[in-house]
A and B are shown apart, each in its own frame.
Chain A
Amino acid sequence: DTEVTQTPKHLVMGMTNKKSLKCEQHMGHRAMYWYKQKAKKPPELMFVYSYEKLSINESVPSRFSPECPNSSLLNLHLHALQPEDSALYLCASSQDPFASNRYEQFFGPGTRLTVL
Chain B
Amino acid sequence: KQEVTQIPAALSVPEGENLVLNCSFTDSAIYNLQWFRQDPGKGLTSLLLIQSSQREQTSGRLNASLDKSSGRSTLYIAASQPGDSATYLCAVRQRGSGGGADGLTFGKGTHLIIQP
Do A and B associate with each other? yes
Q: Which residues of A contact B (CB under 8 A)?
A: 6, 31, 33, 35, 41-45, 48, 50, 55-56, 58, 88, 90, 92, 94, 97-98, 100-110, 112
Q: Which residues of B contact A (CB under 8 A)?
A: 31-32, 34, 36, 41-46, 49, 51-53, 89, 93, 95-109
A6 and B89 alpha carbons, distance in the complex (Å):
21
B107 with A104: CB separation less than 8 A: no
Residues of B within 8 A of A56 (CB): 96-97, 101-103
A50 and B100 alpha carbons, distance in the complex (Å):
7
B101 with A31: CB separation less than 8 A: yes
A106 with B101: CB separation less than 8 A: no
Residues of A within 8 A of B41 (CB): 88, 112
State whether A100 and B31 are in contact (beta carbons under 8 Å apart), knowing that A48-B103, A55-B100 are contacts in the complex: yes
Residues of A within 8 A of B103 (CB): 33, 35, 45, 48, 56, 58
Closest to B107 in A: A42
A43 with B34: CB separation less than 8 A: no
A101 with B43: CB separation less than 8 A: no
- Residue from the set A44, A55, A90, A92 with the largest chain B CB neighbour count within 10 Å: A55
A108 with B43: CB separation less than 8 A: yes
Closest to B99 in A: A98
CB distance from A10 to the nearest CB of B (A): 10
A45 and B1 alpha carbons, distance in the complex (Å):
14
B102 with A48: CB separation less than 8 A: yes
State whether A48 and B43 are in contact (beta carbons under 8 Å apart), knowing that A43-B106, A101-B53 are contacts in the complex: no
B51 with A105: CB separation less than 8 A: no
Closest to B94 in A: A100
Residues of B within 8 A of A33 (CB): 101, 103
- Residue from the set B41, B89, B98, B104 with the largest chain A CB neighbour count within 10 Å: B104
CB distance from A74 to the nearest CB of B (A): 13
CB distance from A34 to the nearest CB of B (A): 9
A94 with B101: CB separation less than 8 A: yes
A104 and B105 alpha carbons, distance in the complex (Å):
13
